[in-house]
Structure 1
Amino acid sequence: MSYAGCGPARCHPAAGPDRTRQHPERLSPGSKASSTRPGLAQPDPGRPAIHRLNRVEYANAIRDLFDLDVDVHALLPADDEQDGFDNIAEVLSVSPTLIERYLSAAQRISRLVVGYQGLRPVAETYPVHGTLVQDEAMSLDLPLGSRGGIAIEHNFPVDGEYIIRVTLRKQEYGYARGMGQPHELDLRLDGVRLDTFTVGREWEHGQLPPMGYAGKFEQVYDGNSFPEWERYALNADTGLEIRTTVTGGRHQIGVAFDRRSALPEGILPLPDDRSSYSYGQDEMQDRNPAVSGIEIVGPYDPSGAATLPSRSKLFVCQPTGAPDKPDNNDETACARTMLSTLARRAYRRPATEDDVETLLAFYEEGRAEGSFDAGIQAAVERLLVDPEFLFRIETDPKGVAPDTSYRIGDLELASRLSFFLWSSIPDDELLDLAARDQLREPAVPDRQVRRMLADPRSRALVENFGGQWLQLRKLRNAAPDTATYTAFDENLRDAMRRETELFLEHELREDRPLVNLLQADYTFANERLARHYGIADVYGPHFRRVTYPDETRGGLLGHASLLTITSYANRTSPVVRGKWLLENILGTPPPPPPPNVPSLRNAGEEAVPATMRERLAQHRTNAVCASCHNTIDPLGFALESYDAIGRFRTTNGGARRSTPASRSTRRAR
């Protein structure tokens, strides 16, 4: 049965042993794959809506204009979504509050770009998730032989002094973990050690209690409320900081422990002079200390901005006059050159005389109140709130009658292409071709798409389009019941997400057949994920391509990330998985359920079958329910060989599964 109005025999070509060889539809722009859906042969494109840049596009545009990374989540509010996507023009509305945030963001960014010397010290924090296990190496950006910690990229706004502070993970009562023995903690800037700290001690009278320790004291210890070890555990990360001079621009900060296994910590007996004492998890060892985050505070005593990458990107010329004797004509000419170059990239088209004159007026106003840099900063601030930058506006060409379809121009095509593949503005090469009307010449589109996919910026296609199409972004909020699924932790969550992103990136860049998305016999895994899948001989935190040892997995449908987001916290859901397949893979979403449909009853209730298959069969005896579930349920049951965190299984709740999952008998290689 098909609620979509076409049965499988009509909607899909018959599968055969050489289906992949006969129809190698690929991901390249030259694909000629056809569709039998009505209306697609001669589609009505409609009128494109004015498209505001969403947060990701805004941040990427700033990065590509100025070589400057900004925390867009702190600058702008979240975007509205439609059908799971946050780049739908019709829902990207503009409110007075959003306009105020754009104005504030423009001021902040323009100051960062020119290296404004009046910046006040601010604190930025890079937290580590509280449940991320730090018993192994965490990143290839950290030294070989290290354990735990974090490596981050931070943009230092100007040359100056900065405080870099490390915080340690603590349990809910504020005690730092793993303080029963000393551990060496290295702090590095761009791979160079800044300092080494020692955390933890060898205690003379026994070791610290386990991580669930919760003590309450009413007695006084020699005039002190806390014994020495407890006072240390409460303040173990005090002093884990360094004040150092850093040049402006992007730098890597890394902090990690020297690799050393913690010894098991004992449990202290109840002292006679304590009124109460309890353990929350006295069976668990405190194990190793862990990093909670990095905080960077500054700048203090700003000393310049000449090394800023953003200045190099913006200041394509320098006025020749001395600061105390400026040459106004030369400064204006230089400003014109800088602003016309910038406007061309920001507006995604050749800058007009009016564009440049508008920006020059703001430059002159800023220059009159300060320096040449102040004038440029004022002009950049004005550009960043210009509708030509904030919106993707496509205007009708001259001479086209209303309501008439027309072929979009090369500049519009370049913009659409770059925002699809990069979620950002066109680069100079793409813009030059479009400005010369050469983007549609033979072989040019194909060559440009391949070039753009090879560029690191194409990761945006995976993270944004792929993350929203497959609903991979939901993984960050997935919360499997850790009492049922004890193997799930933040390390596994990160590995799940990274696997799917790397797989999609590989398929796109290597131009693999579309069918490979479902039938590939390989994936990308690190040691943590390989252990989860039962793949042997994979060691270390780095991801590499691995071949599945058998046919229990294949393609995207075997990825633990997607199997987790289509499950409930404590069990799988054939209905959720079947609906996800219809919506996201087959493109035939089921209609919404009718009102007042009762939910499935739980196993164990009176007259309720024990297995999910039997319960859903009972549910389908209602004709209204069956109209959708006859299509949804079989697809969902095909994935029941995987549990709620994507592990392969042959039993469910102790009972052997009645029907194994359907798996392809052919793999694309």
Structure 2
Amino acid sequence: MPLHRDRSPCRLDLPGSRFGEKRMIRDPETRGAPAPSRPRSFRAIAPRLLPLAILVWSGPALQAVGEEPWSRDRFEEQILPILEDHCYSCHGLGITKGGVDLEGLAAADDWKAAGSQETWLAVLKNVRSGLMPPLGEPRPSDEQERLLQDWIKFGALGIDPEQPDPGRVTVRRLNRVEYRNTIRDLIGVDYDTTAEFPPDDTGHGFDTIGEVLTISPLLMEKYIAAAQEIIGRVVPTTSGIVPERKLPGSRFRAEGEEEEPDDRRSRRGSRSLSYDEPKTVSTTVEVPHDARYHLIFSLSAHEQYVAGQPDLNSCLVTLRADGEELLRREFTRQSGASYRLEFDRDWEAGPHELSVELEPVESDAEQVGSLTLRIDELTVRGPFDEKYLVRPANYDRFFPEPVPDDPDARRQYARALLSRFASRAFRRPVGDETADRLADLALAVASEEGRTFEAGVAQAMVAVLASPRFLFREEGIEPGSTGPFPLIDEYALASRLSYFLWSTMPDDELFRLAEQGTLRENLAAQVDRMLADRRSDQFLRNFVGQWLQVRDVEGVPINAFAVLSRDRPEDPEAERRRDRFRELRQKPAEELTDDEKAELERIRDEFRRSFERFRRFEFDGELRRAMRRETELLFEHVVREDRSLVELLDSDYTFLNERLAELYGIEGIEGDEMRRVDLPPDSPRGGILTQGTVLAVTSNPDRTSPVKRGLFILENILGTPPAPPPPNIPSLEEAGKGIEGRTPTLREALELHRSQPLCNSCHNRMDPLGLALENFNALGMYREVDRSGPIDPAGTLITGESFASVQELKRVLAEDRRRDFYRCLTEKLLTYALGRGLEAPDVQTVDTLVDRLEAAGGRPSALIAGIIESPSFQRRRSPSSPEAAAGLEPGPGTPVGGE
């Protein structure tokens, strides 16, 4: 199996290598053929999948039942001849191309010795993906490939199919999305974690990875401050407060006005009065008791003006209550200034009129803008007598029973409240010791001078939200589950489910089933329910946003002018006009002749008309959001409709609005709403590879990047990324200088670039994939030519498949390389769900999931259900297991893949 002949484009990628399988799928089903009927729920598909699940998770799966283990004699009889015939010519017999000596590794007494697993994983990945042996070299037979793969898995890697190792578990901190969602569901506060917390680190492409979700002293301080603010927003600290009513400024109306004259004012709840128009507006307030009331007028001044020419006019404002003047004050231009005007009034029960009168103040200054005084809000507080105090908002929610006077009863009440709250926050029942400590804290705070029972309970709640048991996902072992890989308990299973599918804490139904110990037996129904819930939008958005880098489209720098300019043929006349424009601009205006002034104006008009074309396709926030939604909606449609995952690669439909359709050159779409659009048979669109998100995030700011696009497909579609580039590799632009007299095409520059030995191996894999997308510029617009001339998307993959267009490439990926795509997506989704990078024992888990997905016609329900049923999701290593004793838990084990 020659891995590193000088003439071969193949290389054995050791650092960060991923395993992947290559099978040539010869399936009569073709694009456009009617899809088989699809079950619409996990409950519908579960009965057919359950027997398979029982088989694959409890038995040796791909290794025949009863087959003898891999002994040295069996290895020498069945595997050694394969290695000698296909591998040792480059990686044995004294030859160690790429520093790899397979002969030495195979001859070692311990195949599973430290350092060897990574190499054997790389061999497995390359054999499956068709990279080893290289194209043109003799290949092992199908039976030999199966034997070699089985030996690597069950011999070299030592995987035990009878007891699948669930892998290491690193305790996981809630990331920013999970923290925000959990706080929302736990206590009803939408806390802006993006503004208050630093971005989460990522590992293996995701921000759900436990080993990178560390916590620093500074972040801990932020969590404590956040807990104080969150609890302070909603948990009352007293049983009674002064009544208070807040009235929006839009309640103030002029005499005869029945409806708000300006819808925009109604939406923002304020009323604006112009400085230069006399106006009186009023509202009526009804008070229930004879008492003193405190009034607070919230006003603000605003303006629109010509830069450098401010409006100097002013106005006189009079506030009245029942006709009695409260304030008479002149306001000048003070843009954005806010005013809080407070008054006390002794009122009788009944209606009272409050009015705001504005009079312009005469001024000789020219009005060049617009000055307005905005009535934002009126607050009426009172009565202040203790007998009129009312319950604060949310009081009954947090304190459903009266606070007892008896000290012992009060302590029990505090204990019950905090035990219930902490159990939900910690996502499992708290013990007596924790409940007692929280109650003691609450009563200690309440005993301080000026503090209340409610304030003490609120402070104990702050302690709960700042606890590691809330910030980290605690997992226990199911009672009675023994062995080296016991089941996690049902509370941990509920959390794994909810953070996988909802990115938030378990709801009442999951808690109830976990408490009853019946969650495992109801998994199919619960997964079906959870995916039907709109909270599953978080899973769809967060997973696809990171797997396909969709999140990045809203911030990726793209210069639309530079991109569109490169699509136009080189115009020497345009360059001459630019030079002439610079020349005329450098001359003092008084030295320009009339003809030069006219010429300068003509050139300026030509530039202006040229820019109009670019302005239509400005890469602004609206267009970026539409691109992101297109990809999210496609993934959501496939998952929710349980359609074949192959449609992510090649489909005859997409999701567009008017703005995105115009960019794509698709007519007949109007409005901002995203909707499904069927594509014509000859359309190059359809599938994620030709969507604006992928095309933009894999481009440079001013041009396309075939290298980035090819690497994206290798990493995220085929699961076979190349090794990182060696240092001091010359840039693509440097390689293009080898062509004199004209600007080389990207294809020509890449050919020169990969002619260098250091570049050849990786670029032979990336470039054909990236060049196939050259018909799409960095904005995602389709084109037939660029500045260098006609675009040629044809190519041949390193594994031998040829294509003439992007449509043919998509069909190659969706049909011939379908199993590679299934494997890559399975690895990505499993990594996201488990919160860790995949390891050597996960090879068999992934194999089983891919077989299950293939048998189910690529339906996502089979993959999601398979992950949730897998030992990796349902079990963990016992602290007394050999793996843990050897120091493999919780530190990193042997990585299967990395970024």
TM-score by length of 1: 0.69
The question of 1:640 aligning with 2:723 is answered no
**Structure 2 match to 1:412:** 492
The question of 1:319 aligning with 2:402 is answered yes
Displacement after TM superposition at 1:19 (Å): 6.2
Out of 500, 517, 528, the residue aligned to residue 648 of structure 2 is: 517
**Structure 2 match to 1:650:** 784
Q: Normalized per residue, which structure has more helix?
A: 2
SS of alignment partner, residue 523 of structure 2 = helix
The one-letter amino acid of 1:472's match is V
Aligned equivalents of 1:517 and 1:297: distance in 2?
51
Out of 503, 512, 532, the residue aligned to residue 634 of structure 2 is: 503
Cα pair distance change 1:92/1:477, threshold 3 Å: same
For residues 588-646 of structure 1, give each alpha carbon's deviation from its aligned partner in whole angstroms, at most 9, with x where no partner exists: 22110112111112697452661111111111212221111111111112211211011
Maintained 8 Å contact 2:628/2:693: yes
**Structure 1 match to 2:165:** 44
**Structure 2 match to 1:663:** 807
For residues 445-488 of structure 1, give each alpha carbon's deviation from its aligned partner in whole angstroms, at most 9, with x where no partner exists: 12211211122221221232221111122212211113234312
Out of 372, 378, 385, the residue aligned to residue 466 of structure 2 is: 385
**Structure 2 match to 1:553:** 685
Out of 608, 620, 623, the residue aligned to residue 492 of structure 1 is: 623
Cα pair distance change 1:195/1:163, threshold 3 Å: closer
Maintained 8 Å contact 1:394/1:412: yes
Cα pair distance change 1:332/1:649, threshold 3 Å: same
SS of alignment partner, residue 732 of structure 2 = coil
Cα pair distance change 1:193/1:113, threshold 3 Å: closer
Q: Quick check: 417-426 or 603-612, which moved more?
A: 603-612
Maintained 8 Å contact 2:736/2:752: no
SS of alignment partner, residue 729 of structure 2 = coil
Maintained 8 Å contact 1:49/1:90: yes
**Structure 2 match to 1:455:** 533
Maintained 8 Å contact 2:18/2:719: no
**Structure 1 match to 2:194:** 73
Maintained 8 Å contact 1:525/1:546: yes
The one-letter amino acid of 2:733's match is R
Aligned equivalents of 1:298 and 1:587: distance in 2?
61
**Structure 1 match to 2:97:** none
For residues 635-662 of structure 1, give each alpha carbon's deviation from its aligned partner in whole angstroms, at most 9, with x where no partner exists: 1122112110111111222622123632
Displacement after TM superposition at 1:330 (Å): 4.9
Aligned equivalents of 2:263 and 2:333: distance in 1?
16
Cα pair distance change 1:644/1:439, threshold 3 Å: same
Equivalent pairs, count: 534
SS of alignment partner, residue 524 of structure 1 = strand
**Structure 2 match to 1:18:** 29
Maintained 8 Å contact 1:65/1:313: no
The question of 1:106 aligning with 2:227 is answered yes
SS of alignment partner, residue 190 of structure 2 = coil
Out of 182, 190, 196, the residue aligned to residue 61 of structure 1 is: 182
Cα pair distance change 1:417/1:560, threshold 3 Å: same
Displacement after TM superposition at 1:90 (Å): 0.9
The one-letter amino acid of 1:542's match is E
Out of 186, 190, 200, the residue aligned to residue 264 of structure 2 is: 186
Maintained 8 Å contact 1:24/1:513: no
Maintained 8 Å contact 2:19/2:720: no
Cα pair distance change 1:427/1:227, threshold 3 Å: closer
Aligned equivalents of 1:243 and 1:644: distance in 2?
55
Maintained 8 Å contact 2:41/2:528: no
Displacement after TM superposition at 1:573 (Å): 0.7
SS of alignment partner, residue 11 of structure 1 = coil
SS of alignment partner, residue 519 of structure 1 = coil
The question of 1:85 aligning with 2:206 is answered yes
Maintained 8 Å contact 1:186/1:195: no
Cα pair distance change 1:636/1:76, threshold 3 Å: same
Maintained 8 Å contact 1:56/1:423: yes
Maintained 8 Å contact 1:159/1:305: no
Aligned equivalents of 1:320 and 1:8: distance in 2?
61
Aligned equivalents of 1:578 and 1:54: distance in 2?
31
Out of 432, 447, 466, the residue aligned to residue 368 of structure 1 is: 447
Displacement after TM superposition at 1:76 (Å): 2.6
Mapping 1:142-157, distance limit 5 Å: none
Maintained 8 Å contact 1:526/1:540: yes
Aligned equivalents of 1:461 and 1:53: distance in 2?
15
Displacement after TM superposition at 1:238 (Å): 4.7
Out of 501, 504, 508, the residue aligned to residue 424 of structure 1 is: 504
The question of 1:538 aligning with 2:618 is answered no
Cα pair distance change 1:377/1:527, threshold 3 Å: same
For residues 482-532 of structure 1, give each alpha carbon's deviation from its aligned partner in whole angstroms, at most 9, with x where no partner exists: 323431222111211122222222222222211121122222222211222
Aligned equivalents of 2:528 and 2:684: distance in 1?
33
Aligned equivalents of 1:235 and 1:580: distance in 2?
55
Aligned equivalents of 1:55 and 1:531: distance in 2?
35
Aligned equivalents of 1:477 and 1:101: distance in 2?
26
Aligned equivalents of 2:755 and 2:659: distance in 1?
43
For residues 299-353 of structure 1, give each alpha carbon's deviation from its aligned partner in whole angstroms, at most 9, with x where no partner exists: 9979999675x656544x22166xxxx4555544443332222222111112322
Cα pair distance change 1:576/1:117, threshold 3 Å: farther
**Structure 1 match to 2:428:** 349
SS of alignment partner, residue 523 of structure 1 = strand
Displacement after TM superposition at 1:62 (Å): 0.7
The question of 1:566 aligning with 2:698 is answered yes
What is the identity percentage for the equivalent residue pairs of Structure 1 and Structure 2? 39
SS of alignment partner, residue 520 of structure 2 = coil
Out of 598, 612, 616, the residue aligned to residue 746 of structure 2 is: 612
Displacement after TM superposition at 1:579 (Å): 0.4
Aligned equivalents of 1:596 and 1:586: distance in 2?
28
Aligned equivalents of 1:599 and 1:515: distance in 2?
35
The question of 1:96 aligning with 2:213 is answered no
The one-letter amino acid of 2:717's match is I
The one-letter amino acid of 1:538's match is I
Aligned equivalents of 1:236 and 1:504: distance in 2?
50
Mapping 1:612-631, distance limit 5 Å: 612-631=746-765
**Structure 1 match to 2:589:** none
Aligned equivalents of 2:765 and 2:443: distance in 1?
67
Aligned equivalents of 2:390 and 2:672: distance in 1?
37
The one-letter amino acid of 2:495's match is S
Cα pair distance change 1:22/1:241, threshold 3 Å: farther
For residues 68-124 of structure 1, give each alpha carbon's deviation from its aligned partner in whole angstroms, at most 9, with x where no partner exists: 111123433322222332221111222222222222111111111214589xxxxxx
Cα pair distance change 1:456/1:518, threshold 3 Å: same
Cα pair distance change 1:621/1:67, threshold 3 Å: same
Aligned equivalents of 1:662 and 1:565: distance in 2?
18
The one-letter amino acid of 2:466's match is V
The one-letter amino acid of 2:541's match is E
Maintained 8 Å contact 2:201/2:213: yes
Displacement after TM superposition at 1:8 (Å): 13
Maintained 8 Å contact 2:20/2:720: no
The question of 1:469 aligning with 2:547 is answered yes
The one-letter amino acid of 2:271's match is D
